Each structure stands twice: as C-alpha cells, then as structure tokens.
C-alpha cells in the first residue's frame, strides 16, 4: 500500500484521480462510486502498482526527450 501511495504522490495524482484509477480495476467494473484504496485486495493493489509503475516509466521517458533548459510543458 505504501509503495502504491508513494508512486501516486511522485506522479502528482489527486485524490480524485486515485479513486478513478481504483474504479477502473477489473474487479471494480461497474462500480457506482469512488473506491478507497484501503478497500483494495492484495491482487488489486498489485494491479494498481503495475499501472503506476508503467505511468512512471512513461513520465521518465518523456523527461529524457526534453531538451536541456526546457520544461516538459514546452
């Protein structure tokens, strides 16, 4: 749980974005409301960590493409 929260913090995800991610989990399909990360199973947390690791890798790749002195926003 701590690792997933740390990744989310590194990516700058808001609470709403974290809830939306949890609602996209395969086991939560059709969920009608926000899902707390505290309610996730170990398997669901593993999926979440996998997604967040992937997002972090994409972010790192984008940073490598930024020319010196520029920001990622342009």
pLDDT tens profile 10-61: 999 998 888 888 888 887 655 666 678 888 888 989 999 999 999 999 989 9
Global pTM reads 0.73
Angle of the 15-23 helix axis to the 42-65 helix axis, nearest 10: 120
Query: Do residues 31 and 52 lie in contact, with contact meaning Cβ atoms separated by under 8 Å?
Result: no
- Per-domain residue ranges of the chain: 2-65
pLDDT band at 73 (very low <50, low <70, confident <90, very high): low
């Amino acid at each position: 749980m701590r690792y997933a929260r740390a990744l989310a913090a590194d990516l700058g995800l808001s609470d709403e974005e974290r809830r939306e991610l949890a609602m996209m989990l395969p086991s939560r399909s059709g969920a009608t409301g926000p899902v707390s990360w505290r309610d996730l199973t170990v398997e669901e947390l593993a999926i979440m960590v996998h997604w967040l690791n992937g997002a972090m890798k994409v972010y790192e790749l984008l940073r490598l493409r930024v020319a010196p002195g520029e920001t990622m926003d342009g």
